[in-house]
Structure 1
Amino acid sequence: MLLASLLTAQLWYSIPLIVSVSLVYGATRHELWQPILYHAWHTALWMLVFMGTIFAALYVVSWTL
């Protein structure tokens, strides 16, 4: 139970990291706020899907061992 709560607590660090990286990445491509936020949203969504896919693959591999 303690290990699960520690893993959940560590996952919360990914939210500000994803937000900040996607905003900076969007700002390097555009100068106006609307395109920056639009690009940041799509970048954040892409990163979440990518991280979720990697997590699911590792979970399945560790579950079958």
Structure 2
Amino acid sequence: MVLFAGILNSQLWHLVPLILAVSLVYGATRHELLGPILHHAWKTTVWMLTFMGVIFAALFVLSFWL
């Protein structure tokens, strides 16, 4: 519960809009139409959040042994 409370008051909430903005710009460099841009941005956002989540989970588990 303490971890959840720490996340609510954390600056990590800035991460989601930042990743979404980066994904939109990255998608716009690959496509010109709005549909493919949004589709690519969604896929990139999910990929980035999943990747960062896996890294976070690995470091969180690893922190118990250190």
TM-score clears 0.5: yes
> How many aligned residue pairs are there?
62
Under a length normalisation based on structure 1, what TM-score does the superposition of the two structures give?
A: 0.86
The aligned counterpart of 2:32 is: 31
Residue segments in structure 1 that go unaligned for 5+ positions in a row: none
User: Secondary structure at 1:31's aligned position in 2?
Assistant: coil
Report percent identity of matched pairs.
65
The aligned counterpart of 2:15 is: 14
Residue segments in structure 2 that go unaligned for 5+ positions in a row: none
Shift of 1:63: 1.4
The CA distance in 2 between the partners of 1:63 and 1:29, in whole Å, is 42
> Following TM superposition, where does structure 1 have runs of at least 4 consecutive aligned residues deviating by more than 6 angstroms?
none
Under a length normalisation based on structure 2, what TM-score does the superposition of the two structures give?
A: 0.85
